[in-house]
Amino acid sequence: MSVTQSHIARKLGVDQRTVSIALGASGRVSEKMRQRVLKTANQMGYRHNRLAAGLRGAKTNSIGIIWLFADAWAGDANIALNLLQHAQDNGMQVYQAQLPDEDERIAQQIDEMLARRVDGLIIQGSRRQLSSPRVIEKLKQAPMVIAVCPEELDAFPGDTVCYDRMQAIEQVVDHFALTGRKKPMFCINMNQEHNPPKFETFARRCQMHGMVHPDMLMEIGSLGSAEEYGPRHARMLEMKFPDNKTLLDSVDAIFTFNDIGAIFLMRYLQDRQIKIPEQIAVVGFNDIEVGHVWKPALATGNRKREELSNLLKQMLDTRLENLNLPYRRETVHMQFIHRESAG
């Protein structure tokens, strides 16, 4: 008869939940209790090989992924899901966690993964999050770490991939200049920590092309829900430019760092009888499906999700084969996709 967690719990005189947590479920038990459960499970033949490996400090054939899964804007959850599928296809157990914002909560998530004795961690985060001393302290305890960040990380204890947006922003501005635009405007929420560097890159590139003007930025405020976020772009544009003459005198191209906002802006401009791209060019970002079929088709930013997924899978396989390799530093550059709305 197969040994179950209930058998182990009865043997130790503890409840089954304690055994389940010690064997990898979510929750906390003392290290002393975890070792008792692992030892007893090994002695009783419960999933013997894997647990014996864990007791010896060898591989447990598992990884942890800490990622921003709940993200309706960028759509990068598919990257983590591709990694999960790749790991499972190779017989690995995968533990997932939603990336919190606060450093201390990120450290707690790492602790949860370490308690499961994962062979490695893949973590997405901002420069602020992944440079936090508290987070770094915890990551140093992992057998291996691969981090994905929109900026380069200094002295990071693991492999890193810079998921760079800035080259795509520069390409958008270059396109505006090449097609004769003089007054491009950037629409973005400046309260988010990722976003001020994006506008700085936009403004710097505009200055290089001599396209500096008073209305280079339209601040759209906090994101909110998808239902509220898109219409806010239109409301902010209406507040800033209540009549067509003022708008057309002030702006000839709009770059919003989100396709949802860009589509709402296009619809609003069309309702005001403004021609896209003849009078105002529009560019979004993230390459969502509806942008392909919109009229005119939405120019956007390609996040290179497939390229990043493949790179991370390759880095994971290589690192798990040899933990002693030097740390890798890679960059994936997003790219401007020209379509009709950009002119």
Q: Would you list the DSSP string of 54-113?
A: HHHT---SEEEEEE--S-TTT-THHHHHHHHHHHHHTT-EEEEEEPPSSHHHHHHHHHHH
Give the per-residue pLDDT at 53. 44
Q: Assign domain 5-56 one CATH number from 3.90.550, 1.10.8, 1.10.260, 2.60.40.
A: 1.10.260
Q: Assign domain 166-302 one CATH number from 3.40.50.10860, 3.40.50.2300, 3.30.230.70, 1.10.3720.10.
A: 3.40.50.2300
Q: At what angle do helices 5-12 and 31-44 cross, to 10 degrees?
A: 120
CATH for 62-164+306-334? 3.40.50.2300
Confidence at 4, pLDDT banded by 50, 70, 90:
confident
Average pLDDT score over residue span 267-286: 97
Residues of the chain with CATH 1.10.260: 5-56
In the predicted structure, residue 54 carries a pLDDT above the cut 50: no
User: How far is the C-alpha of 132 from the C-alpha of 106, rounded, in Å?
Assistant: 10
Residues of the chain with CATH 3.40.50.2300: 62-164+306-334, 166-302
Q: How confident is the model over 64-123, as pLDDT tens digits?
A: 999 998 776 778 999 999 999 999 998 899 999 999 989 999 999 999 899 888 999 999
Confidence at 220, pLDDT banded by 50, 70, 90:
confident
Residues 214, 303, 300, 263, Cα dihedral to 10°: -90
Confidence at 293, pLDDT banded by 50, 70, 90:
very high
Q: Would you list the DSSP string of 5-55?
A: HHHHHHHHTS-HHHHHHHTT-SS---HHHHHHHHHHHHHHTTTHHHHHHHH
Average pLDDT score over residue span 216-220: 93
Amino acid in position 284 = G
Mean pLDDT of the chain: 89
CA-nearest of 156, 188, 192, 190 to 326 is 156
Query: Per the omega criterion (within 30 degrees of 0), is the bond before 277 cis?
Result: yes
In the predicted structure, residue 218 carries a pLDDT above the cut 90: yes
Q: How confident is the model over 239-256, as pLDDT tens digits?
A: 999 999 999 999 999 999
- Quick count: other Cβ atoms within 10 Å of Cβ 293? 8
pTM for this entry: 0.80
H helical segments located in 93-194: 103-115, 127-130, 133-139, 166-178
Confidence at 46, pLDDT banded by 50, 70, 90:
confident
